[in-house]
Structure 1
Amino acid sequence: MSVSSYDTIRVSADAYGDSFAGIEILDSHKFYSEGKNGKFELRTFITRVKDDPEKGLFNLGFGAWDEVRQIVDDRLRTRNDDMKQILGTVAAIALDFLKKYPVAHLYAEGSTFARTRLYQREISKILEELPIDLQLHGLIRKEDIGFIEFRKGIHFDGFLLSVRNS
């Protein structure tokens, strides 16, 4: 993909102690957004529920790291005019994870309706650049439709990434 991304640093799951009770952290990274509104540490998490019989389903989350509360704030807006680079970084982390775990299904949605719509618009812009072996579905909760292949012009409530089975 031609989308630029930030350099990332892997964060050990041990760094979070027991703050993710019942959740297993399989992958975490940090990177920095720096711009007109300052420098923000951002973190990504790929997690799954411990003892979940559906071992192939993972969640992708990210947001600004709150050092004081030791949590990720997924509602903070940095307003550093680097949203595309931030999303490019998150996408690169997701693709790397799927390369390591090709049977995984990685779920993501925004923390708000507006953020989910933003992510959908940005995905639509680079849809043609996605790797051919990447499968992308959108979730439609209305009327329990569920997941369908991602297409432009349809409102989705979340997204599911996976590697195509040959």
Structure 2
Amino acid sequence: MLGNGPYNLVFIFALHMHYDQYEILLGETALTYEFVSHGPKGNVKKVVIYSPRGVDNLFNLGFGDKNEETGQLDDRVATNNGDSVKVLATVASTVYLFTNLFPNALISATGSTQARTRLYRVVISNNLETIKRDFEVFGLLGDEWETFRTDTDYQAFLIRRRKQS
């Protein structure tokens, strides 16, 4: 089994996306990952949670600050720790690790605000060719999923690991 030691995913993620990232700790289950953001606001614990959605192999990706009092994820807080690119690269690294463990997973994601959803669209758009090497990416437009296009404002995103041949 994996245990809960640190997972430095540079060997997985850096080959694909050329961004720095934080060391990732596996949470209590293979559905939870934790890391610490370092910046002017101090050391801020972050958590990434893959929540089953009640449909076979469908998981929601949620991430944000870890509330120290409750231990729960807070996806509404704006940390502003000056490391958003590194934080998003670290979250993306968990997608690689998660889909290595669950290769048939469909992962849905949306921002907790319209601005965050827009940010995620921009990040996906800027890295789409790299992402497409390993994943299929879809966007929700109205009530229809379509193959992700860089010039479209989506309400949500769906990602699936490409089958290895």
Q: TM-score range with shorter-chain normalisation?
A: 0.7 to 0.9
Work out the number of aligned pairs and report it: 148
Alpha-carbon distance change, 3 to 131 in structure 1, aligned in 2, over 3 angstroms: farther
Amino acid at match of 2:24: T
RMSD: 1.4
Amino acid at match of 1:137: F
Runs of 4+ in 1 over 4 A off after TM superposition: none
Structure 1 stretch displaced more, 151-160 or 132-141: 132-141
Amino acid at match of 2:26: R
C-alpha displacement at 1:75, in angstroms?
1.1
C-alpha displacement at 1:159, in angstroms?
0.7
Q: Deviations over 1:23-43 (max 9, x none)?
A: xxx511111111112211000
CA distance in 2, matches of 1:99, 1:44: 16
| Counterpart position of 1:23 | none
Q: Deviations over 1:122-162 (max 9, x none)?
A: 11111122251310111112xx2x11111111001111010
Q: Which of 36, 46, 50 matches 2:50?
A: 46
Matched, 1:160 2:158: yes
| Counterpart position of 1:4 | 20
Q: Identical aligned pairs, as a percentage? A: 34
Q: Residue 50 of structure 2: SS of its match in structure 1?
A: strand
C-alpha displacement at 1:76, in angstroms?
1.0
Q: Residue 127 of structure 2: SS of its match in structure 1?
A: helix
CA distance in 2, matches of 1:82, 1:104: 28
CA distance in 2, matches of 1:92, 1:109: 17
Amino acid at match of 1:103: N
Q: Residue 55 of structure 1: SS of its match in structure 2?
A: coil
